Amino acid sequence: MALPVVDAEYLKQIDKARRYLRALIAQRNCAPIMLRLAWHDAGTYDCKTKTGGPNGFIRNEEEYTHGANNGLKIALDFCEQVKAKYPKITYADLYQLAGVVAVEVTGGPTIDFVPDRKILRFPRKKGDFQMQNKARHILRMSSIEWVPLTRILVHYQERTLWEGHILRDRILMPVD
């Protein structure tokens, strides 16, 4: 599969935004909620229909006020600071870049970022929000990748604002 082609100016803005996010996340100590934002924006991907996924729609009020997205407005507001400085970047790319940088800032690996996600301008269908009990399979993550991600979210619950019982009951349970 060929990588998307984006212009040089867009790539420069991505690089500058990445550096800005690194400083913002470290200063505000907000890596967990930024990772959660990226996760929730991507969490509606449906393998069967090849729809959903990271598309920036989470910035719309009907999405971020949904119960499963409780508290994500904080991360959205942080991202607005970045968007104001680097307006060419799509919201879809910005939210995923924030998640990538959050992993890096917390000592995780440097992740290659492939830009050019398209934004969604219309509502998703009702009931399309979170598929947490199937998320590991949907994202094609191995247990080795999945467990550290869920542990980060559990450990930093007060910063992610993700309800612990959802994590304990649905995500940390094996989905096999």
Residues classed as catalytic: 40
Looking up tokens 């290659």 gives 112
**61 residue type, one letter:** E
Beta bridge partner(s), residue 162 = none
Closest C-alpha among 118, 37, 104 to residue 76: 37
On whether the CB atoms of residues 160 and 71 are closer than 8 A, the answer is yes
Phi, psi of 67 (to 5 degrees): -50, -40
46 DSSP β-pair partners: 51
Decide: 128 and 121 in contact? Cβ < 8 Å: no
Residues 50 and 41: their CA atoms lie apart, in Å, by: 15
